[in-house]
Amino acid sequence: MVVNKRAGDLVQGDHTGDLPLGEYIKSFIKKRDHKPGAVYLGVPHRLDRPTTGLVVYAKSSKALPRLNKLFAEKQAKKTYWAIVKHAPQNPSGELIHYLVRNTKQNKSYAHIKPVGDSKLASLSYKTLVKLDNYTLLEIDLHTGRHHQIRAQLAALGSPIKGDLKYGFDRSNPDGSISLHARSLAFIHPVQQKPLMITAPVPKDSLWQAFAQVLQTD
């Protein structure tokens, strides 16, 4: 099952004790399919709480290890959209950093060279649209590190709109950051058929302005 996550929804439970999105999905499946017993739902990957977009769940214990393998071996192509105020100097390019995760701060720091227990982080980006005050970037992840896009764009001097943790000057009214998991392409783990799934952008006016320019949802 693939869900277009809203900002603020938890993919997995955390220290807040808030009910994760998966529990709501289980209730939906139980009601829709008239299931008498417990509903199985596995979580093969995560998406940060303030972000929006595609999240995949496994509906069976058979599908979960296959999806885990698919994500672990980078067989799923993830594409993200990010809104930034300060456009990169180059309209497209590849970013390579070495990220160090600070678990106490729940933050990752990007370095140009390897330091300590840093991990290689790589992504490519391109500019899709430039409006008067903001720019829409498309990002393809080559690695999957903690807060990777947020940390690397901040290191580039282009923090994501609303992302106070990584240097943007003010928050979004709804507490979100303007990072959207736009599309996901992979081979279905059971049917072995190619899937390409796209998530509509949030309904707020800025996202919709970009969508209108691109003439897409």
Tell me if 201 sits within 8 A of 210, measured CB to CB: yes
Q: Which residues are catalytic?
A: 48
Tell me if 78 sits within 8 A of 184, measured CB to CB: yes
